[in-house]
Structure 1
């Protein structure tokens, strides 16, 4: 699932910067974007794949959130994470502060190299580096609090995808303080409903309020809670069941994109569809995605740098050549980062 998710994210983050591409509804909702996508879908041209990736590719994020919630339960509640020798690794649940310290350092270790290199490249290519990377913005990004300390996080987070680090830190805090302490299904439902209500109210107050809310954990609790629930109580289904869920999810995600109330719930069906699709894939298709999944964290860190370098040369011509070079460069950078990380000590709880 991580392999499919990261491909969607990295391709979306490139395609949605192409001027002609239909833009997504990710943090805020505009029905005009959905209608524009429908026009492209019903009258397709040779750029239809770019429109699909631009409009839907960001849904790789809820898949990552689902996997994160699932992984936390498997690691700290089930003891079924494999160690380096392929054996079950037993982890005791640490106190909240050591838990948060460990996960902060884990995220920081992953983020810092990509961030430093991206900032350096930005300064070399642009004249507004001192404004874009002011001291307070750098400090907020390194502290992973940039999502909520600025009124307009989408204007100050650069590279844009790095908002995810602050989001994950919030979800780790929510897990250790709430979801791990009370492990029943009711607390998950309560938080999902509360976050849904907050988003409804934020939308009523204005687009900027909704944007700020969804840059933080309120928009992420639904898929994260689903991952926790699936790890605790999930059951296998027959292939026919997975096929039915895949088709249902496709329809709901497509048509749920046209109304705000439905749109808030589409991440749930993205996750259901992703899980079901993975269960249906034959090994010859699943194996490449699985390999990509092992690189997913490094790809997430490095693909903004590859985009920064490549997209300016192919934004208006040779579009697909640019995408190919971008993907190749991002994978090469990611493998290099993964190699470098072997020599950086991992944090310990």
Structure 2
């Protein structure tokens, strides 16, 4: 294979890199004139606009624009890296374990509780933010958005048209990854590589068919749910089950070039999430300042859960247009990143402290 064995420390650092890609992407793609990504749908105009932005940035020697447009267009691939690592990690941890039905249910329940650990404490914050934003009372805000809060708590928001981004835009991921956990424990656990290949190809074929038939709405729905992410999830499981060889630098660079070019065609784009782990991991797994990336990995779960609230505060208080007009993208983006990291760390410590206290009463 193209990736040598991924250790626990590797995984933690790679998660730290993935979350940085995601939080910067979510900030920069919200700004006016930003390069729009091909994440849930493919549009060649998005690619053309990004290429034009690169040409303009190079000709005007604008390092800031190169930086912001890169994260805006490519940063969402941090999600694909997370999902690949999830499939890989589950296999390493559970490939030799047998599960009874009750143990499979407990496996899913543990992950639901872990998600609730960060979601439920943040719902009151969402109620408060919406109350201030719309000038309504807390109770009225809660009642008005009750269906949205329930869809998030029950992880069904990705199944309801128009509810994918409710409460916190990135939270669609919780519903999608929970679906993948269910599929793993009930369908993919301890299955052969041939079976994984069949499942992955089946998921790709469904998406390919929607592109061929022009069913954009269907493809949009699939990529908010497990079908859209099954290929890269199965790839992670497959890589954990196969013997490995270290990838040569030239091969990694070639794969990175292929990945960067994958947004030129709708069908090629479907394979971009599969190319990304193979291109990214060998090139960046040994990135310097390992202690920083390890720290980022340790708070990545909390940072993912809370960063959209920080982003919303920055964009509302400063103003999207003002950030662009005054060329503040880089300093404001860095400040947003630092405050998000600090807030996530504090959030993690508070929740861990609360969990310790509650465990003493059991």
Structure 2 alignment gaps of length 5 or more: 1-13
Identify if the C-alpha distance between structure 1 residues 207 and 134 changes in structure 2 by more than 3 Å, giving closer, same or farther.
same
Whole-Å separation in 2 of the counterparts to 1:314 and 1:246: 40
Range with bigger deviation, 138-147 or 108-117: 108-117
Deviation of 1:295 after TM superposition, in Å, equals 1.1
Of 168, 176, 191 in structure 2, the residue corresponding to residue 159 of structure 1 is: 168
Q: TM-score, normalised by structure 1?
A: 0.87
Q: SS of the counterpart of 1:27?
A: coil
Whole-Å separation in 2 of the counterparts to 1:185 and 1:31: 34
Whole-Å separation in 2 of the counterparts to 1:193 and 1:171: 16
Range with bigger deviation, 160-169 or 96-105: 96-105
Whole-Å separation in 2 of the counterparts to 1:165 and 1:280: 29
Of 167, 192, 197 in structure 1, the residue corresponding to residue 200 of structure 2 is: 192
Is 1:303 equivalent to 2:303 in the alignment? Answer: no
1:186-265 to 2 correspondences below 5 Å: 186-203=194-211, 204-237=213-246, 241-265=247-271
Correspondence for 1:285: 289
Correspondence for 1:104: 112
Is 1:75 equivalent to 2:93 in the alignment? Answer: yes
Q: SS of the counterpart of 1:342?
A: helix
Correspondence for 2:22: 9
Of 343, 349, 353 in structure 2, the residue corresponding to residue 333 of structure 1 is: 343
Residue by residue, what CA displacement relative to the aligned partner does 1:14-49 show, whole Å, maximum 9, x if unpaired?
000001111101001111000111111223234121
Whole-Å separation in 2 of the counterparts to 1:137 and 1:32: 32
Deviation of 1:207 after TM superposition, in Å, equals 1.8
Aligned residue pair count: 328
Q: TM-score, normalised by structure 2?
A: 0.84
Higher relative contact order (CA 8 A, sep 6+): 2
Correspondence for 1:83: none
Residue by residue, what CA displacement relative to the aligned partner does 1:247-287 show, whole Å, maximum 9, x if unpaired?
12221111111101000001111111222123443xx3333
> Are the equivalent residues in 2 in contact too, given 1:34–1:257 (CA < 8 A)?
yes
Q: What is the root-mean-square deviation in Å for CA atoms of aligned residues?
A: 2.3
Whole-Å separation in 1 of the counterparts to 2:110 and 2:215: 37
> Are the equivalent residues in 1 in contact too, given 2:44–2:264 (CA < 8 A)?
yes
Residue by residue, what CA displacement relative to the aligned partner does 1:72-118 show, whole Å, maximum 9, x if unpaired?
1122225xxxxxxxxxxxx7645322221121112211322234323
> Are the equivalent residues in 2 in contact too, given 1:5–1:60 (CA < 8 A)?
yes
Whole-Å separation in 1 of the counterparts to 2:284 and 2:243: 15
Is 1:135 equivalent to 2:146 in the alignment? Answer: yes
Whole-Å separation in 2 of the counterparts to 1:69 and 1:116: 32
Whole-Å separation in 1 of the counterparts to 2:255 and 2:162: 32
Structure 1 alignment gaps of length 5 or more: 79-90
Whole-Å separation in 1 of the counterparts to 2:244 and 2:44: 36
